[in-house]
Amino acid sequence: MSGWQETPSTAVLILRDGTRLEGRGIGAVGASAGEVCFNTAMTGYQEILTDPSYAGQIITFTFPHIGNVGANDEDIETVNMAGASGVRGAVLKADITNPSNYRAAEKLDAWLKKRGIIGIAGLDTRALTALIREKGMADAVIAHAPDGRFDDAALKAELDAFPGLEGLDLAKEVSTTQTYKWDETRWRHGEGYGRVEDPQFHVVAIDFGAKRNILRCIADQGVRVTVVPATATAEDVLAHNPDGIFLSNGPGDPAATGDYAVPTIKALIETGKPVFGICLGHQLLALALGGQTVKMHQGHHGANHPVKDLTTGKVEITSMNHGFAVDSDSLPAGITQTHVSLFDGSNAGLAVEGKPIFSVQYHPEASPGPHDAHYLFTRFLNHVREQKGIEKAAEHA
C-alpha cells in the first residue's frame, strides 16, 4: 500500500512491517514514533489532538477534511495549554484549507507547528484504516522534512526504540505534577466558560491525563474541584477531605499505571466515599476491584459509539478513546457490568453493588461528541447528595 501525492513527498509514515506511505508534510518538522490508531469523529479535531489519552499515538482521521474550522485557545483539552498532550502525529487525507469559522484564531498547520505535532497529508486514510482493522494498531514512525530527504536508517532506529503501548505507563508523563484548584464550568454560546459560585460539594480528581471539559462538567454540578497528581497516595487525597473522588481518563497500559495507582484506589474504596472513573480511571478501578484489562485489536476512537446503559435500558451515542478494555469475564462477584458497547460487546461500565462506586469506559463530557451521557456527572453527585442527606437531582443529558 502506498500514499498518493501530486507534489514531491515531504513526509513519510513507515509502519513496523515496512509499509511506507509518502505524502505532504504539515505541522512540525522532525520525526516521532508511536502507535497508529484511527478516529472516526467528523468534528473536534483540535480536542482530539490535545486529549492526553492519545499520548504515544499517531492519529489517523477517517474524516477527510481536517482543519477547515481552524484552531483557537478555547478548544484545547490538555490542562497544560502551553504543553503538548503527548500525541505523536496526525495523518490526514486532504490538505489543510484556510479556516472558515468565526471562532478560528489561526490555521491548523501553524497550530500544529506551535505544539510540536508532526503531520502528513495526502494519504489514503481509508486504506490505512482498513489495514488497522485487519492487522490491528501498528507501531510506526512519522517524519516531516521540507526538503524531502529522509534518513531511513535513523527513522528505523527511532521506530525500533519505541517500545509499544503494552506495558507502558504514560500517565506520569501527562499528569499534573502539582495539586491545583479547578472552578471553570462548561462553555455556553455567547457566554464562554463560567465559574463555580458558592460550590456545594468538594471533589478530588486524580489526574491520569484529565481533559479540561471533564473537569468543567464536574464543576458544573456546583463542585469545587481539587486536582492531584497521578502518583498521589490515598493519604494525599483524603487530606483534602473530599465529598467524592474522581479517577480521570489517561493514556497507556492500565496495568502499568496500576502499579502505583491500584493501591491508592483500593484504600479510597475502603473509605466508602463516592468514586467515579472515566476511561483509564474506569480500567484502574476495575483492576483495584480484582478485574483484569486486555489490549484491544483496533481500539475504540470516535464520537459515534453506541453504548447501552444496562441500568436504564437506554442506548446512548458516546465518545470513546481507548486501546485497552476491561475484561468483563474477570469482574468478581459484587461488581456489576452497567454498560456495554453495541459495536463489539466489550465492557463499557461497572458499578460496585451496594456502594457509591461506578465508572464508564467512554467520555461522557462530549468534547468532542454527543451529549447523551452528561447524566453520569449528575449520577456521581447524587451519590454525594445521598450521603449528605440532600435531595437528588434529576438525571438528564
C-alpha distances in angstroms, 8 versus 65, 122, 124, 150? 21, 11, 16, 13
In 3D, which of 237, 247, 235, 242 has the Cα closest to residue 201? 242
270 is catalytic: no
Who contacts 189 (Cβ-Cβ below 8 Å, separation ≥6)?
A: none
Distance in angstroms (rounded) separating the CA atoms of residues 113 and 199:
39
DSSP β-ladder status, 275-278 and 357-360: parallel
235 is catalytic: no
**Residue corresponding to grid cell 508534510:** 25
65 is catalytic: no
Q: Let me know the angle formed at the C-alpha of 369 by 274 and 257, rounded to the nearest 5 degrees.
A: 50
Identify the active-site residue in 77, 158, 217, 279.
279
**CA-based radius of gyration for the chain:** 21
Distance in angstroms (rounded) separating the CA atoms of residues 42 and 62:
8
Identify the active-site residue in 22, 77, 158, 365.
365
Please give the helix or strand (H or E) that residue 17 lies within, else none: none
Q: Is 184 exposed, middle or buried (0-12, 13-18, 19+ CB in 10 A)?
A: middle
Helices (DSSP H) in 270-343: which residue ranges? 280-288
Identify the active-site residue in 322, 363, 374, 383.
363
Catalytic site residues? 279, 363, 365
